[in-house]
Amino acid sequence: MERTLILLKPDCMERRLAGTVLARFEQKGFQIVGMKLMQVTPELAAKHYAEHVDKPFYPGLLAYITSDPIVAVCLEGREVVATVRKMVGATKGWLAEPGTIRGDFSLSGQKNLIHASDSLKSAKREIAIFFKPKELIQWKTSDAQYRLSPSEMEE
């Protein structure tokens, strides 16, 4: 089972879309194994956006991500990283396909509602930034038997 990190960014929270966005992942069959409402500090933002610290857009990114609370969520499921990225849509909301989260709710490039890990390696690093191991709970849902990967469906 894979795990990935999503962050419901300040604009998602300000627009009261957290439940709507989370419902899409749950309806897809992904399991929430960690979730918390938090205020991102500049130090936490620097760890998360380490590859962007020296870029010209970083001050605006820092101001935005620390402006209001976020919800950090660790999702678990088969092929969760790639599937969540598809569900989220293109970074720039105006380019995101209808039916994706950004395509349905965002028109901005930076205020684009949600962050999703872009690879298994990134997911592992990012989950460790936002969650302590004891904050991630392994549990079994009643519908676990129905959550199959695409390769399992072909069998």
Any idea what the CATH number is for the domain that residue 82 is in? 3.30.70.141
pLDDT above 90 as % of the chain: 85
Catalytic residue selected from 112, 115, 116, 123:
115
Least confident of 95-99, 105-109, 124-128: 105-109
Structural domain contains residue 53: yes
Q: How much is the pLDDT for 109? A: 77
Residue span of the structural domain in which 40 resides: 2-139
Active site (annotated) includes residue 115: yes
Number of structural domains the chain divides into: 1
pLDDT for residue 153? 53
Helix axes 18-28, 80-88, angle to 10 degrees: 140
pLDDT digits (tens, 9 = 90+) for 126-143: 999 999 999 999 888 887
